[in-house]
A and B are shown apart, each in its own frame.
Chain A
């Protein structure tokens, strides 16, 4: 049950990542992470061992993380954060001490 839900979520995330350019860092790292977890889900049938392999809390928490990641990837396609910097800060903005 949980494994089915995770498979659906991971396929959706990977599909959403396809809409981004190939060299976007977000796409690279998230694909790596999601593929890793997807492979664990495919390989391991027992939920307890799956939790240990993924090593990110209980399976319900892993499902919640996947759901938030899916929502995030959809927002990222709108925001396009891989583009170059919008605007540089003025010269002494981040200088400390003044």
Chain B
């Protein structure tokens, strides 16, 4: 009985000792690795230079419309154009033998209310021949209509209507003027009117006022891009206040 107890205790000890030895071994192997930040994507300078050369090529061929070209840190090529150049640039990228971006993946918008032209329209294109992607960006404000890219890419049809409804800016449709909410327009837009003290039905109008923003967040969004606060500048002849 006593012997079995002792044996049990010794085996227990042995197990814990083994565990300790194992964890010590693990700790040792961890400290010998040289990797310091394994979760960061490795930079690919070759692709970066290829993309930036192609971006320069496009900017050289289309200087009338291309305002800026950049390659993001994720190796994505972006071409910023003037809104007049939507159809020329998209047709060029689709038809030219060196580009052949005949697949439109996405058409969206980005709303930055503080800018003069608040909406930034983004076209994402894919080239099946060369297996590469490109992003084309334009801008507009609430009231200026843009050319529709449907004659170039059929896929743009749905996305244009969707961005029209979400962001309330306008595309000139070549074929017909319909919105995604065509059904909703048949229903009634109602609101409670305090003056007449009942619910009132008025013609449907979608306006910017329906979009509500709450952009103030207590957290700083981009600490790496903090801008230095402007120090008060002195005109020549002024004396600094004591």
A79 vs B65: C-alpha distance when bound (angstroms): 11
Contact A81 B65 (CB under 8 A): yes
Minimum distance in angstroms from A13 CB to a CB of chain B = 10
With an 8 A cutoff between CB atoms, is B112 at the interface?
A: yes
A69-B95, A71-B95, A83-B63 are known; give 10 further A-B pairs, CB within 8 A.
A25-B60, A29-B61, A33-B98, A65-B97, A69-B96, A81-B63, A81-B88, A82-B63, A93-B116, A98-B114
With a CB–CB cut-off of 8 A, which chain A residues contact B96? Answer: 30, 69, 72
Q: List 14 A-B contacts (CB under 8 A).
A: A29-B98, A56-B129, A72-B96, A75-B91, A79-B64, A79-B88, A81-B64, A81-B88, A86-B65, A87-B82, A88-B67, A89-B68, A90-B117, A93-B117
Are the C-beta atoms of A85 and B67 separated by less than 8 Å?
yes
CB nearest neighbor in B for A34:
B97
Q: Which residues of A contact B116 (CB under 8 A)?
A: 90, 93
Chain B, residue nearest A80 (CB): B64
In the complex with contacts A33-B98, A72-B95, A86-B82 CB distance below 8 A: yes
Find the A residue at minimum CB distance from B70: A94
User: Is B173 on the interface with A (CB-CB < 8 A)?
Assistant: no
The distance from the CB of A2 to the nearest CB of chain B, in whole angstroms, is 17
Closest 3 CB pairs of A and B: A72-B95, A68-B95, A25-B60
**Interface positions of A (Cβ within 8 A of B):** 25-26, 29-30, 33, 56-57, 65-66, 68-69, 71-72, 75-76, 79-90, 92-94, 97-98
Contact B82–A81 (Cβ < 8 Å)? no
- Distance of A57 Cα from B129 Cα, bound (Å): 8
A87 to B114, CA, bound (A): 21
Residues of A close to B137: CB separation below 8 A:
94
A29 and B57 contact, Cβ closer than 8 Å, known pairs A72-B95, A81-B63: yes
Shortest Cβ distance from residue A82 to the other chain B in the assembled complex, whole angstroms? 7
Distance A87 CA – B84 CA, assembled complex (angstroms): 9
Question: Which residues of B are found within 8 Å of A89, using beta-carbon distances?
Answer: 67-68, 80, 82, 117, 139
- In the complex formed, the residue of B with least CB distance to A92 is B115
Contact A65 B80 (CB under 8 A): no
For A91, give the chain B residue with the smallest CB separation. B116
Q: Is B149 an interface residue (CB 8 A)?
A: no
B83 CB to nearest A CB, Å: 9
Residues of A within 8 A of B115 (CB): 90, 92-93
B114 to A, closest residue via Cβ: A98
